[in-house]
Chains A and B, each alone.
Chain A
Amino acid sequence: MAKTFDEINEKIKDGKVVVLTAEEFKDLVEEKGVAQAAKEVDVVTTGTFSPMCSSGAFINFGHSDPPIRMNRIWLNDVPAYGGLAAVDTYIGATELSETQGFEYGGAHVIQDLIDGKKIKLRAESYGTDCYPRKEITTYITLDDLNQAYLFNPRNAYQNYNAATNSSDRILYTYMGTLLPQYGNVTYCTSGELSPLLNDPELRTIGIGTRIFIGGAQGYVAWEGTQFVRNKEVIRDGVIQYSGATLAVIGDMKQMSSRFIRAASYEKYGTTLFVGVGIPIPVLDEDMAKFLAVRNRDIYTQVVDYSVPSRSRPVLRKVSYEELRSGMIELNGKKVPTAPLSSLRKAREIAQVLKEMILKGEFLLQEPIQKLPEDRRFNPLKEREVK
């Protein structure tokens, strides 16, 4: 018997909804089978808590008197974008402080704002007849701001490479510290708990889907940048490179640093750990089958990051079950693996989201529009500039 979003929302409102986390649902399927699980369960909650560089916040400061059209802006010495209207800005997670470098960046400004800390705003302008003021230095807090919302162009990767290093030197990358001569392998998705691996065909996740983001209720705004989806995406059982991604939006004023955290990777820079949870309705048995997927059936590829090229060599394919075991075999040698994405936090998010739905505080939103079915990942073509 198929269910609709509306029917499930009615059950949520009536307090009759049955919700399991993705891990609980998979266990149930193994115990009772897909058909029974599809009948019993209405919603499955997923979660991920990973560094997501393509994140940032739109902020509106309000006007000073006399007013200023801010065209160069710093928040705690981190440059923010000055090319919007007078007192609007966008601060990106990976923008670095001009005074503290890799230690502090846009991500830290975002977390400090969420934590209620005072942030130093400094801005300059060329001055106009309507905006005569030429400079301002003051402190702001999240409460003062008219709007402060995350708009992350690329979050919640469907899948991601595992990384290793064949060279003789340590590599400092966004995949963490990679030790020489295949000294380690790092990986970065929450596997069977990950939102888009539980809805591989994007039947229930699209534009308008209500999501949990950083502790707030937010939305899928658009396809994420570098969104890849076409008939060739799944090759040899592996969702190639990345698969789908999401552009997401959420109100910083409702967020908590329990679910969103600034990070700084040595000799790489700053980024933001974003906690994303997506509820997936068990519409029918097909959906239940997708939701039953286990780490042993989800694969990624181990890529050598020592090759400084766009297409780095793939060493082997590997299941998340193997990666999670702590050791994989690479060229006949046992190599230790380490996660970069917090599975513990991903579980916490799936659990919190489940409780919100059970309490009737979180309703499902059917996508207003599906995400595209045919998208390729185009390289940058370099053309001669005269």
Chain B
Amino acid sequence: MQLQKIKLFMYFPPEKTDKPITYRLVKDYDLMFNILQAQIQPNKKGRLMAELEGTAENIEKGLQYLKDQGVQYRIFNKNIIWHEEKCVHCGACTAVCPSRALSMDRNEWKLTFDHSKCLICELCVKACPLNAMDVNIFL
């Protein structure tokens, strides 16, 4: 079965932050759930950024479940592209990367880019002196 991966932002209304919504996504829809960034406090609006992996059908059902629960979400329509041929591995982008998705391999002193950690904050796009980082927008 072909698995798909999506990244999404979820916004939880205050009354939902005590519900085990992620548990249901995993248990009922067999979705692999990787939390990238989370800000959740009891009785306050919560924010969660995660990567979901599963079959297309289960992803669709899972998203419908979120809607039914009153959880707003936004699927990422952007990612960051590293143009390696332009890169000189200086490390300037690693100075601003908040999630350490961009880091230096300390043996080879080569830049490494772990897409799964990327928060798509775009700070690296501006920080790169060689224009080697780009935002790719897809719909």
Interface residues of A (CB under 8 A from B): 49, 51, 176-179, 184, 186, 261-266, 271, 273, 324-326, 336, 338-345, 347
Contacts and interface: CB of A to CB of B under 8 A. Distances in A.
B89 A344 contact: yes
Given A177-B123, A264-B131, A266-B127, A326 B92 contact: no
14 contacts: A49-B88, A177-B92, A179-B95, A184-B95, A261-B88, A263-B130, A264-B131, A265-B92, A273-B90, A340-B92, A342-B88, A343-B89, A345-B89, A347-B109
Interface in B102-139: 103-104, 106, 108-110, 123, 126-127, 129-131
B96 interface: yes
B95 A186 contact: yes
Closest 5 CB pairs of A and B: A338-B95, A263-B129, A339-B91, A343-B109, A344-B89
Contacts of B130: 261-263, 273
A contact face: mostly helix, strand, loop, or mixed: strand
Contacts of B94: 336, 338-339
B90 A341 contact: yes
A254 B1 CA distance: 55
A339 B94 CA distance: 8
Contacts of B123: 177
Interface of B: 88-92, 94-96, 103-104, 106, 108-110, 123, 126-127, 129-131
Contacts of A261: 88, 130
Contacts of B108: 344
B126 A177 contact: yes
Contacts of B131: 264
A339 B90 contact: yes
Contacts of A177: 92, 95-96, 123, 126-127
A49 B94 CA distance: 17
B96 A326 contact: no
B127 A342 contact: no
Contacts of A178: 95
